[in-house]
Structure 1
Amino acid sequence: MKQVPKARRTRMILREVSVAFCVLVTFMLFGQQFLQLMHLSETSLGIAGGVILFLIALRMVFPHPEGVFGDTSEGEPFIVPLAIPLLAGPSALATVLLLVSREPARLWEWIGALALTMLVCGLTLAFSEKISLLLGRVSRRLLSV
């Protein structure tokens, strides 16, 4: 988000976290029907999420000049890669689907937990520059490897 002016970052983070929250809640409510429509099982969703996370992890371990998610266009990102797949990726979708399918009576608790999680993610992203300064130069190098 270096190319985004500081004044726009907070609005952009709020927008992206909101989009991720909406996608996850929608998948909580209608994910089972979507999987049935596509003839997919929960297991196949979990495997696909694992494969995608593995590929992202490989790009993090063996960095590319264009970054983890590939070459992104100039300006501020819109939905990809911040909201999807970073916040609402395949693993998060599989997790919310499994939570609701195993205990559907606790739907409002799951939505509350998801809202709290998105709040923490939003605050972390909003204060990421200050967190980075706090961690210092050495730890930033370690984290970027």
Structure 2
Amino acid sequence: MFNVKEIVSVTLILFSVIDVIGSLPILIDLRKKVGKIESEQATIVSGVLMVSFLFVGERILSLFGVDVASFAVAGGLIIFLLGLEMILGRTIFKSDETGSGAAHIVPIAFPMIAGAGTLTTIISLRAEYQTINIIGGIVINLLLIYAVLKSSEWLEGRLGPGGLAVLRKIFGIILLAIAIKLLKTNLIAGF
């Protein structure tokens, strides 16, 4: 059943984890290297990855004997580290660089948008939100991602380096709060 509050919560959580605004410097640099960002293809590939992991991720976990609450705790730790990375300006997670012909899609769709943090968050959200509302949050994020990818050049000029840094710090604090909530809820559920 659709729940607007859940959809908004999922949207904000995923938007903070994906941090497409915080990734603008990387997107701008990539656009300068390859000449053009394939916004449509990157958005579609990201969406397929996220929705697939929403449905198949739990089955994959069961193959390894891991329950969703344990995975949610692991996801909470990753989200916590991502938040620290954003606030402190230090790189904890290294992203893979590829020099293939798909250089304009692969680094954007995976790992930048639908990377480990996003996929972990999606499976972690299943512990607290209904699947239909998670899909709603994913779709809204895909629309936002597409808009940011399409307008990266315009956004670069409007926000400037200082504006991008402030947004990154704000989303980092939001991620830390989300991580603490996930850890608290799922650690208690485990006992």
Q: TM-score range by the shorter chain?
A: 0.5 to 0.7
Question: CA, structure 1 residues 132+86, in 2 after alignment: closer, same or farther (shift >3 Å)?
Answer: farther
Q: Report the Cα offset of residue 116 of structure 1.
A: 3.3
Report the TM-score, using the length of structure 2 for normalisation.
0.54
Question: CA, structure 1 residues 129+3, in 2 after alignment: closer, same or farther (shift >3 Å)?
Answer: same
The match for 1:94 is 124
Corresponding residue to 2:97 among 53, 73, 86:
73
Between 1 and 2, higher relative CO (CA 8 Å, sep ≥ 6) is seen in 2
Question: Percent identity at matched positions?
Answer: 20
Unaligned runs of 5+ in 2: 1-26, 170-191
Distance 1:72 1:48 in 2: 21
The match for 1:4 is 31
Distance 1:43 1:58 in 2: 22
Corresponding residue to 1:114 among 112, 121, 138:
138
The match for 2:178 is none
Report the TM-score, using the length of structure 1 for normalisation.
0.67
Two-structure CA RMSD over aligned residues (Å): 3.2
Unaligned runs of 5+ in 1: 101-106
When the two structures are aligned, how many residues end up with a matched partner? Answer: 134
The answer to whether the 8 Å contact 1:46/1:94 transfers is yes
Q: For 1:20-69, what per-residue CA distance to the aligned partner results, in whole angstroms no more than 9, with x for missing partners? A: 211222233333322222211111121111111111222222223xx564
